[in-house]
Structures are given as structure tokens and as C-alpha cells.
Amino acid sequence: MKYLLDGQETERLIFRKIQRSDFDQWLEFFKDPRTSEHWIEEKESPEKECTKWYEKQFSRYKNDKGGMNALIEKKGGKLIGHCGLLVQTIDNTFELEIGYSLLSEFWNRGFATEAANYCKDFAFQNELTESLISIISLTNIQSGKVAIKNGMTAEKTTTYNGNLVNIFRIKKVDWEKLTVHKE
């Protein structure tokens, strides 16, 4: 469970483990056609997709493969999305990814950047890895912008789960340089 940020906070967000009781709120993510437009795999009903998503996260938790954290807005106490550190295999290499997804009503308000930035700092400060990636569909311009704001650069294009994606990366040594300039 070293990759989970349960109980961590940013200025506007609380990170916690996902819970089965979040299902109905998160189901809205799968009902919105814009949230899956960047992936070419066939989708089942929103209910089935949401169920598969939750089972995958609980499996990640159980097998210490990281996982998404629920993002709770401090102001209203509402679930706004998920963000977390995920153990991934990309081109036969184990990587630690910062993943993020928000309900569309919370897009373009800086929440994804705030959460992703916190995950980056958490991973490097706790010596979890020497580099972090974000896996982003070639067509998902908004998520790419979040990765860039998070100090990442597009490193390569590859195939992930049948989709062409950009792999954005930041190395710990580059993060340390950025951190020095912030102080």
C-alpha cells in the first residue's frame, strides 16, 4: 500500500481510498461519452464498465500495484474524480504512472494538475521511483496539458491496451532541479 495517498491533502483536495459506496457518483463518468472518446476498445454498459474499473482498483490495492485514490473536494465534500500512482508495464518495462480522471463537471478548474502534482511530489519525496510516467492517448490534448504542467515531457509514442499513446515522463533528477527553483 506504499503507493496509495490515503489521508493526504492538497489545498483543495483530500485523497482517500476508493470505496464501493462511491460507485453511483463515479458511474456518471462512464455515462459521459466524452470520457471514453480517446480509447478505441469496445465498451460495455456504463454499469459494467464502472464495475470493472472498481474491481481493477481493488485488485491493485490487494496486490500492491498502486491504484487510484478518490479525490474529495474539501469545499463541498463531493467526489470529483480519481488520481493515483499505478504500477504499469509499458514496452516490457515496469513503470510508475500518475493516472487521473475527473468527472466532467470538474474539468478545467485545475484539479487534475493539483492532484497529479501532489502525486509526483509524494512519489519522489518518498523514494518510490527514479522516474514517473503518464500514459495519455494521442487525441487527449487536455490530459497531455496536465502532464506538461506537471513537469513532464512527451518521451515516446507506443501502443498500450491496443491504443496509440504518448508516454510523458519526469525523472527525479529533473524534479529536484525544479524543486530547487521553487524555493
For every one of its 183 residues, what pLDDT tens digit does the chain have, with 9 covering 90 and above? 789 999 999 999 999 999 999 999 999 988 887 766 666 566 788 899 899 999 999 999 999 999 999 999 999 999 999 999 999 999 999 999 999 999 999 999 999 999 999 999 999 999 999 999 999 999 899 999 999 999 999 999 999 988 899 999 999 999 998 876 555
pLDDT at residue 106 in the model: 95
The x, y and z cell numbers of residue 6, run together, are 490515503
Cα–Cα separations (whole angstroms), residue 87 to 44, 99, 134 = 25, 10, 11
pLDDT at residue 38 in the model: 62
pLDDT at residue 40 in the model: 55
Residue with cell 489521508: 7
Alpha carbon distance 84, 99 (integer Å) = 5
What is the DSSP annotation of 84-107? EEEEEEETTEEEEEEEEEE-GGGT
Alpha carbon distance 63, 67 (integer Å) = 10
Alpha carbon distance 169, 57 (integer Å) = 23
Element (H, E) at 58: helix 46-62
The x, y and z cell numbers of residue 130, run together, are 527514479
The vertex-41 CA angle with 159 and 158, nearest 5°, equals 5
Q: Tell me the pTM.
A: 0.92
The neighbour count for residue 66, using CB atoms within 10 Å, is 26
Bridge-partner residues for 134, per DSSP? 168
- Cβ-contact 53, 59 below 8 angstroms: no
CATH class name, domain 13-182: alpha beta
Share of the chain residues as helix, strand and coil, in percent rounded to the nearest 5: 40, 35, 30
- Cβ-contact 27, 47 below 8 angstroms: yes
